[in-house]
Amino acid sequence: MNAAVTLPTILLVGEVAEDLRLVRQMLDGVEAEFGLRKSLEQAGQVFLEQQPALVIVCQEPAAVPAAEAEAPPVWAEYFGDSPVIFLASEASSRDPQRLQCFDAANLDYVLRPLQKHNLLPKVRAYLNAYRSKLGLQAALEQLYERGREVQELQDTFRKLAYQDPLTGLPNRLQFMDRLANAIARADRNRSRLGVLFIDIDGFKGVNDQHGHAAGDELLRQIATRLSSAVRRADTVSRLSGDEFAVLIEQQADAGSALAVGNKICQIVAQPFELELAPGQPLGLGCSVGVVLYPDHGRDCDSLLRAADQAMYEAKRGGKGIARLAPLAGPQADLPAAAAAPSLAAGLPGTAS
């Protein structure tokens, strides 16, 4: 037999040596380990460490008073779910009060004089049930473990699909998904939303001078600064390379969106300190293109395209600024940078 397989344990309880010897003789060849205790109290100590597959009690089942017939017998407190076989005399089997105890689950008896053909089939049946129970438990544990592994894989794939691995920000795919959902909400609520397209000025020089590892460290710091410049309800995304985007949903108008863009320009213009370039403060900047929905586009692609064009206008205008995309038609005469304290007031450090 495979040594790695753990044998079930049969616990024998009794003080009469002849009973114990006879039971062991009848169960010779049964694949199980045997334990011995002289009393129920001693047997109960076994359950502090393990639960036997079967308990054989070589004594008469205790009489259960009629008033307590529905109460669990004392041995149930010791053995829990383990099946228990009592060796009972024929006289006790005709005692109704004593037979009541066998109405409880997992309690059984074998009549004396003890016969192998009476005891052995019961023992084998209980051991088979025990093995089936262990097999079911193992299968359920495997299913649970596999389910947990599948969930972990799904979470990993979801992160890989929707999260930028370098900065931890939402990637382009997740940004476009959130933008599409925001457009649907804006249509229902008849509201506006703002989209900012951000390009870092001078980033290529950092890569060329200090290496790509320093560039990665810089991108992570930029992501942290951008996240600090907006509200928690807004979305900051890394689209690709040194290009980022911001989605503003609530109370978005031209003035408030430009206020966010100008704030971003200010915080990115502050010097960066890199561990890979100690003692060399890096001065960068950014150019920001600003668009509104539905003013500058009716879908995700047209909005992002218009924001990208506005960003290039900001670069041509001197960099380090936020530029609102021009409006077409009658809306072109609307002020592009009207103050909007409703949003700006919720941004730390935003000038009103």
Closest alpha carbon to 201 in 261, 148, 139, 243: 243
CA distances from 215 to 76, 207, 212, 238, 282 (A): 69, 5, 5, 14, 11
Structure tokens at 193: 């939303």
Instruction: Give the number of other CB atoms < 10 A from CB of residue 338.
Output: 11
DSSP SS3 for 24: helix
Q: Is the omega angle on the peptide bond into residue 294 within 30 degrees of 0, that is, cis?
A: yes
Q: Is the omega angle on the peptide bond into residue 348 within 30 degrees of 0, that is, cis?
A: no
In the set 164, 201, 242, 253, the catalytic residue is 242
For the chain, percent helix, then strand, then coil, each to nearest 5?
A: 50, 20, 30
Q: What distance in Å separates the CA atoms of residue 183 and residue 188, rounded to the nearest whole number?
A: 9
Closest alpha carbon to 276 in 218, 322, 221, 319: 218
Closest alpha carbon to 221 in 203, 208, 248, 194: 203
CA–chain centroid gap for 69, Å, is: 48
Q: What distance in Å separates the CA atoms of residue 211 and residue 271, rounded to the nearest whole number?
A: 18
CA distances from 319 to 82, 200, 303, 305, 312 (A): 79, 10, 21, 19, 9
Is 164 one of the annotated active-site residues of the chain?
Answer: no
Q: What are phi and psi of 291, to 5 degrees?
A: -135, 160
DSSP SS3 for 36: strand
Structure tokens at 1: 């037999």
Structure tokens at 320: 């380090």
Q: What distance in Å separates the CA atoms of residue 114 and residue 27, rounded to the nearest whole number?
A: 12
Q: Which active-site residues does the annotation give?
A: 242
